[in-house]
Amino acid sequence: MAFEFIKQKLAVQKSQSRYRQRFCVQKSNNNSLEQEAIIIVDGKTYINFSSNDYLGLNNHPKINQAMQEGVDKFGVCASSSSLVTGYHYAHQALEETICQWLNKPKCLLFSSGFTANVALFQTLGQTLNQGNCHFFLDKLSHASILDGAFSSKAKVKRFAHNNTQQLSQLLSQCDSDNKLIASEGVFSMDGDQAKLSELESIADKNNAWLYVDDAHSIGVIGKQGQGSTSILNSVSDKENSNIIMATFGKAIATSGAFLACDNSLHDYLINFARHYIYSTAISPALAWATIKSIELIQQEQWRRDKIIELSNLLTSLLDDAIQIVPSDSSIHAIIIGDEEKALFVSEQLKKQGIWLTAIRPPTVAIGTSRLRVTICANHKHNDIKHLAYCLNKALI
């Protein structure tokens, strides 16, 4: 029978407690619930600790209003790729907003962070097809970075997570003029931060570019939520060689992604990045709503302060025997170990009204299955206390 391996592979997934399935989140008739960290699945209400809505901005009335204004002004659909007739004023305005926010010369919009990452690495690595392009990736870089890099014709090396000494050694053995170091700003499964200042220094010494996937820190870190790269103290020429990618679908609470870079790379991607050239532009109405979201992020520091406050509360209430990865972000990984136990604990928490997804291989390494807790600005103190009580009960 054709493609018989499909059933076989699924059977293996189930036997290893790695089988994945979707759950439909139902819309509540009570609009007030939408402003809280609550989801309803199969008619039951849960406190949601698996959301990437870090700042609690999803369904914010001002963002919703901007979305409606965008629909009225531009329509829902861009109706074409950006290089034909799909590049609307809303897209241009959003790009300019991001450039001013992050102090970057240029910006390009993409349909998703996955697409942006793959586009960047394939485009840089595909054109320089004589093996003259080298990528150096943190071991824990996102799957989209790995897919983009390894599907290109560049030479790819991976350094141990946050091991800048090993990175320096790898770079010292490379005589290419075209080197790029890639890392996440905040790592999606552990919640720890990259050593960006060290990475920038290493990139400078080795005449390399630095690429930062800031999907999980944009909006959350920085005085105005500019993300991880806000800690860098680059002079303007060096700063422009750094490339920033971040998504809109997490703390920014809309949809899509961007790449912020210098003028030359911007023009190069417009001319050679197939993912950009041959994709319909993101919804102009979404772009219009995203501008309003960024405005709120810049103005409302209390959201970032509350994440820190609630994160400290959680760690203070957890039993010392619980293994939690140190983090200054919204993400707090509680290491369980094997897949079956992680699933069991997740199900036990659901019975207590807590939605906390078990993260299993291949997303994380074998033996490190975990509960990935995300603390958001719309959580309440009692939510955190209830979570800590239930975790202590389930794990100790």
Positions annotated as catalytic residues are 52, 142, 184, 188, 213, 216, 250
326 preceded by a cis bond (ω within 30 of 0): no
**Residue 17 half-sphere exposure, CB side, CA atoms within 13 Å?**
17
CA–CA distances in Å: residue 303 to residues 41, 162, 267, 337:
27, 28, 36, 32
Q: Could you tell me how many residues make up the chain?
A: 396
Give the sign of the dihedral formed by CA 296, CA 300, CA 302, CA 304. Answer: positive
Question: Residue for token digits 């499909």?
Answer: 6
Joined tokens for residue 331: 């993400």
- Which among 248, 195, 229 has a CA at the least distance from the CA of 54? 248
Question: What is the Cα–Cα distance from 98 to 103, expressed in whole angstroms?
Answer: 8
